[in-house]
Amino acid sequence: MGIWDWLESLFGEPEPKKPSAKSSAQSSAQPTVKTQPSSTPARGEAKQEVKPAPKQKPIRIGDREIIEHHLTLKAQPKEIAIVFYCPMHMAKIYCHSILIDKLGDLTKFIVRSLYKGHSVEEICQLTAMGEITIKEEMAYLVRGGLVKEEDNRLTDLGSQYGKLLEKFNELSNGIEVTYNAFADSFEPDASICNEQPGEKELLPSHFVPTLARNDNYSNSLDVALRHIEDETPFSKEIKQSLYTSVRVSKDIIGYKKVCIKSIDHGLISTTVPHVKIAIPYDRIAYKLKYTWIDPYRGAITLIKGLLEKYADLITEKAKLVINTVDEENDTDILQVEVNDITGEFSTAQKELTVLPDDKSIFPIEKSRLDMVLRGETCAGIFLEEVDRQTLYQIRCFPYIRMEAM
């Protein structure tokens, strides 16, 4: 097959050849036949002018704003459920009060007895301290505003002391709770499982035994208040006097399962217990190309060579192919960053990094997400991936925003 035949088969009919003298003569010998219009307007009828529909200007790969507007995900990301295990310990919380600490044992006994409705005479009969000693204690309580002098009954403040002493007596063996060593908090109603977590799933313990010797360790006072004030509200003065001590067992009794189902609550930094997660992003580079060129891409180099040697033999369509390919090569790469967890994407670069060599950072398993162009506007254009790099965004996910399982 000659060059002319090859180009003709590839690009259609080339420029028509000039007819020979013989063919011209034969053509002039043929009679001329006039064709009539298929329909003629009736007499007096106005001739209707049919205006052609305006042609829509085809989109070019250089129309970056339009291209970016029509970008979309080829498929939506899968839902995530990242499971972690918190080590749990048995613990007890003990309640105390600065105000109660100032009272002697006999004083506490008298206040509790009066609170239960016993008279001074009954108190004298129940103790071997003697009437004089009891009266001295009563005088002390009157001066302290806990007992009314006129009838030896408790004042409102004295009744608060009596209620508190009763609560302390009920809770003398401590409030049994579980201690979450990762969250560093006491949880009265935590559900515990005996499943053995993997190394990556097990969250670290933040328990420091020496710090647990301090008063009001972690959230122990809040837990104690919920027990003490159960149907028994106390005055501000009493509440401010309360403090706690704790005992935490050394052995882990099980685990609490928690999970992350959404990364929307990730923070740049935080001081509360948290998990460091690495959110995967794909930074993808796309080359913008025209669909109609695809059948000719394998012959572009040959066509360009023929254009240099046989320019008069190349059709306009062949020249258009070459110009269009040059346009593709000259158009800037389209770079997109896709969040592989949420599916959010942007052409504006974020501060992403390679995955650090840090065991405390939990990398989320990624999905492969691809972009496509949607809509009729971009029907003749497609994205050819030329590069893909996986990067990460490090975020802190607080324990308080995890869901219990």
Tell me the per-residue pLDDT of 334-380, one tens digit each, with 9 for 90 and over: 999 999 999 999 998 888 999 999 988 999 988 899 999 998 888 89
d(C-alpha 161, C-alpha 108), whole Å = 9
| Statement to judge: residues 240 and 159 lie in one domain | yes
| Residue 404 belongs to some domain of the structure | no
The two three-digit tokens of residue 221, written as one number: 């006072």
| Statement to judge: residues 345 and 239 lie in one domain | no
Q: How many domains does the chain have?
A: 2
| Statement to judge: residues 309 and 395 lie in one domain | yes
Residue 204 scores a pLDDT above 70: yes
| Statement to judge: residues 216 and 288 lie in one domain | no
* Predicted TM-score of the model (pTM): 0.71
| Statement to judge: residues 218 and 343 lie in one domain | no
DSSP-assigned letters across all residues of 266-300: -BS--SSSEEEEEEEEEEEEEEEEEGGGGGGGGGH
| Residue 30 belongs to some domain of the structure | no
| Residue 36 belongs to some domain of the structure | no
| Statement to judge: residues 158 and 228 lie in one domain | yes
d(C-alpha 90, C-alpha 87), whole Å = 11
Tell me the per-residue pLDDT of 109-150, one tens digit each, with 9 for 90 and over: 889 989 988 888 888 877 776 778 888 888 988 998 999 988
| Statement to judge: residues 374 and 284 lie in one domain | yes
| Residue 131 belongs to some domain of the structure | yes
| Residue 267 belongs to some domain of the structure | no
d(C-alpha 158, C-alpha 155), whole Å = 5
- Amino acid identity, residue 197? P
| Statement to judge: residues 97 and 74 lie in one domain | no
Domain that residue 312 falls in = 64-78+277-399
| Residue 307 belongs to some domain of the structure | yes
Mean pLDDT calculated for residue range 272-286: 94
| Statement to judge: residues 173 and 223 lie in one domain | yes
| Statement to judge: residues 214 and 117 lie in one domain | yes
| Residue 130 belongs to some domain of the structure | yes
Q: Write the CATH number for 136.
A: 1.10.10
| Statement to judge: residues 344 and 392 lie in one domain | yes
| Statement to judge: residues 117 and 222 lie in one domain | yes
d(C-alpha 396, C-alpha 362), whole Å = 10
Tell me the per-residue pLDDT of 53-91, one tens digit each, with 9 for 90 and over: 555 677 899 999 999 999 999 998 988 889 999 999 999
Q: Residue 258: which H helix or E strand, with range?
A: strand 242-260
Residue 105 scores a pLDDT above 60: yes
| Residue 272 belongs to some domain of the structure | no
